[in-house]
Amino acid sequence: MVTQEQLKEQIYRYVDAPLNPGVNFDTGLYYEAIGQTAAALSFFLRCAELTEDDLLAYEALLKTYRCVAKQTRRPVWEKEQLMIAMTHMPKRPEAYFLLSQWHSAREEWTEAHHFAVTGQKICDFDAKSLNSDVGYVGHWGLKFQEAFTCWWRGQRDHSIKLWKELYSNPDIDNEEYFNIILNNLKNFKVLPIEHEPIVYVGENFKKLQSYIRFPGCKRIDHTNAQALQDLFVLRCYENKQEGTYLEIGGGKPYIGNNTALLESRNKWKGLSIDLHQPYVDQWKESLRENPIIREDATHLNYLDLINEYKLGNEIDYLSIDIDPAYQSLEVLKRIPFEEVKFGVVTFEHDHYNDATRKVRKVSRNILESHGYILIAGNISMDENCPFEDWWVHPHLINEKIIEQIKVPLTDVLPVKNYIFK
């Protein structure tokens, strides 16, 4: 934030060197920062007129476009400034991107497509970045514009192909744009909106991987969890009876629930938390005996809660699964890992659907810092949608079991491939 004193000092610098292009540019930046676009515009124009540096003139002209665009009164002049900027530096991508956006906003799809595609073909993407924000989102922005305009020009298959490529691009760290990519792929049914739980019946025992089998697993006639998390927990503990759990994001009492089997078959005790009143009502009408509480999981004191429900300082299973993923991360940050250890942790990062693209990385840093071992990362219901990581603590899970069930980290681990032959 620019203070009055900083602006005052910059004006003094301008008074001392009114014909210096760099000083004019910097003065424009100060006025832009405080929202005075008319004043900023005049200094950026002076810079473009005074300088013999094509790159500085180019950047100053893009800033004039930004100032006038915010005023929304002279659209033709906006376009002209972008065209003039392009003549100074015809191989830089920013003006192409902004011109494509300008035409898209007016539903001039052919022109918008032209600048998006031409920019990708002729621009030098190794050129150094500009020193100020001109509204350029990154080199992927031109492909984004191409995908957008192709859809409206009837090139639907090519558009979907481009959206898929954008989805897989790790350089996109703009949440607003990535949300658009996600929503488009959902609308095109490339990404699922939700997954049905995997149905496990007794005869599936014969298909279990050898490292997943455990004493008594042959007698399990069904599971409840969406992705066989309950089976994984029982494998880690070799069918332990009377364990303990903390389930954050209980959902429905049976369908897709991670702890129903543990409670009903193995007599585990624990606490579930959910904010959705209809789910809580279903629990209270069901045969579930362990409690569920209706609370906002992102605001709870978990050490107090664990002590209140007498779960102890070594809890067998922690399940974190609330939507959206950044709220699961907020919960993870509140877990008292210094005071309490959890034998197994399943954490839903929803990386395939996380517009921030940060939850998975941050959650892994937290769990690794507390000594947890990632057993199966990027668990997915299909071949495309990594949504969860499965962890254990080496002080609570047998070392030989860890060696047997741990698999190398891959971009996607279909749960059926991990659990079944």
Residue 277: per-residue pLDDT: 96
Residue 304: per-residue pLDDT: 97
Residue 213 CA to residue 205 CA, distance in Å, equals 8
Instruction: Report pTM.
Output: 0.84
* CATH number of the domain located at residue range(s) 4-187 in this protein: 1.25.40.10
Residue 162: per-residue pLDDT: 97
Residue 2: per-residue pLDDT: 78
396 has pLDDT over 80: yes
30 has pLDDT over 80: yes
Residues ≥6 apart with Cβ < 8 Å to 138: 171, 172, 174
Strand, coil or helix: 27: helix
Q: What is the mean pLDDT of residues 18-47?
A: 94
Compute the radius of gyration of the chain from its Cα atoms: 28
52 has pLDDT over 80: yes
Amino acid in the structure at residue 338:
E
Greater model confidence, 2 or 388:
388
Residue 205: per-residue pLDDT: 86
319 has pLDDT over 90: yes
Q: Residue 371: left if φ>0, alpha if ψ -120 to 50, beta else—which one?
A: left
Q: What is the pLDDT of residues 191-200, one digit of tens each?
A: 887 788 888 8
Torsion from C-alpha of 310, 312, 315, 319, nearest 10 degrees: 40
Q: Residue 107: left if φ>0, alpha if ψ -120 to 50, beta else—which one?
A: left
Mean pLDDT for the chain overall: 95
Name the segment(s) of the chain with CATH classification 3.40.50.150.
202-419
Beta bridge partners of 395: none
| Inter-helix orientation angle 156-167/175-187, to 10° | 130
Residue 308 CA to residue 161 CA, distance in Å, equals 53
Residues ≥6 apart with Cβ < 8 Å to 382: 192, 195, 414
- Give the helix/strand (H/E) hosting 352: none
Residue 74: per-residue pLDDT: 87
Residue 202: per-residue pLDDT: 80
Residue 387 CA to residue 177 CA, distance in Å, equals 20
Q: What is the mean pLDDT of residues 164-192?
A: 92
Check: CB of residue 150 under 8 Å from CB of residue 159: yes
The fraction of the chain above a pLDDT of 90, given in percent, is 88
Residue 199: per-residue pLDDT: 83
Name the segment(s) of the chain with CATH classification 1.25.40.10.
4-187
Confidence of residue 65 (pLDDT cuts 50, 70, 90): very high
Token look-up 């998390």 returns 229
Q: What is the mean pLDDT of residues 18-45?
A: 94
Reported in sequence order, the residue ranges of 241-372 that DSSP labels E, i.e. its strands, are: 244-248, 269-274, 292-294, 314-320, 341-348
Token look-up 């624990």 returns 270
Confidence of residue 207 (pLDDT cuts 50, 70, 90): very high
65-89 burial code (b ≥16 CB/10 A, e <16): bbbbbeeeeeeeebbebbebbbebb
73 has pLDDT over 90: no
72 has pLDDT over 90: no
204 has pLDDT over 90: no
314 has pLDDT over 90: yes
Check: CB of residue 413 under 8 Å from CB of residue 380: yes
Give, in words, the CATH class of 202-419: alpha beta
For 147, counting Cβ atoms within 10 Å of its Cβ (0-12 exposed, 13-18 middle, 19+ buried), the class is buried
Confidence of residue 236 (pLDDT cuts 50, 70, 90): very high
Q: What is the mean pLDDT of residues 397-401?
A: 96
